[in-house]
Amino acid sequence: MIRSSIVTVSWDDITRVQREPPGTVKARTRRDQAYLIGLAGSAMGEMFKLSHNPTIIGRGQTAHVRIVDEGISREHCDILSEGETMVLRDLGSTNGTFCQGERIERHVLEDGDKILVGSSTVLKFTYHDSLDELFQRQMYESALRDDLTKAFNKKYFTERLESEFVFAMRSQAPLSLVVFDLDHFKEVNDTYGHPAGDQVLAGVARLIAGLIRAEDIFARVGGEEFAVICRGTDQAQATIVAERMRQTVAAYSFPVEGKSLAVAISAGIASLPDSRIIDAQALVGAADQALYEAKRTGRNRVCVAG
């Protein structure tokens, strides 16, 4: 069963990497493009190309860089290109915009500046050319993804679940967690070997990734156990999603050693609002109990925390 923990990031941790000495000028070519890189919060590991002028950062639908974290206004701040200069501007946000630890109204950005918006989102401003972008994306992806399945890893899942839970509780928005694992997966490994088992895991992950929304967080949290964080999704909607996942896996034939192998999954769901669930760990525990009930009552089914 999966476990959840809280990860905290201090401002000293964020700014520990030294910037270039004063007076250092970075030579740029026409290929250089400005980016924001998520260092902490729900945007951690993401890269945002600043292709609009200005580029609006916020949680609203009109934001070019959309981040739904606690304390972020609908149009929180923006970045304006003025010739060779990039300027960070607060847009009258409720909680302010901070750069290098100082609250700002308008600030000329330098390569490497750290921007804090909301209570937990830290973005790094930087320049990259096309090769830099590819390399940086690969670096961040490798830190956040499970090598075998390409789903997010457990560390990223834990951090995102914590922030999504806090946001859902503060905004009274629905949130659902679906956990599932493969039924009798040990038999697959014992019969066909671990390489075949890895093939099946990767195949299941590909199927699930094709079924969920871009804003959902799909992670591998154990050997054959996975989880999906469904933002803005109530229990009824999550049940439909989980059933679709179960049916899709059950209908698929996995090629293993020249044979077609049938695989099934069992799933458990826990959702907000629920007065019994007071923190992210409790949400995980409720989903785990529902998964256990699906296993106990016959497998290849979906159960909801009750």
Active-site positions read 224
C-alpha–C-alpha distance, residues 123 and 139, integer Å: 16
Tell me how far apart the alpha carbons of residues 64 and 28 are, in angstroms, rounded to a whole number.
25
Q: SS3 for the chain, per residue?
A: CCCCCCCCCCHHHHCCCCCCCCCCCCCCCCCCEEEEEEEECCCCCCEEECCCCCEEEECCCCCCEECCCCCCCCCCEEEEEECCEEEEEECCCCCCEEECCEEECEEECCCCCEEEECCCEEEEEEEECHHHHHHHHHHHHHHHECCCCCCECHHHHHHHHHHHHHHHHHHCCCEEEEEEEECCHHHHHHHHCHHHHHHHHHHHHHHHHCCCCCCCEEEECCCCEEEEEEECCCHHHHHHHHHHHHHHHHHCEEEECCEEEECCEEEEEEEECCCCCCCHHHHHHHHHHHHHHHHHCCCCCEEECC
Partnered with residue 40 across adjacent β-strands are: 122
Residues whose CB falls within 8 Å of the CB of residue 223, separated by 6 or more in sequence, listed in order:
185
Q: Is 238 within 8 Å of 286 (Cβ atoms)?
A: no
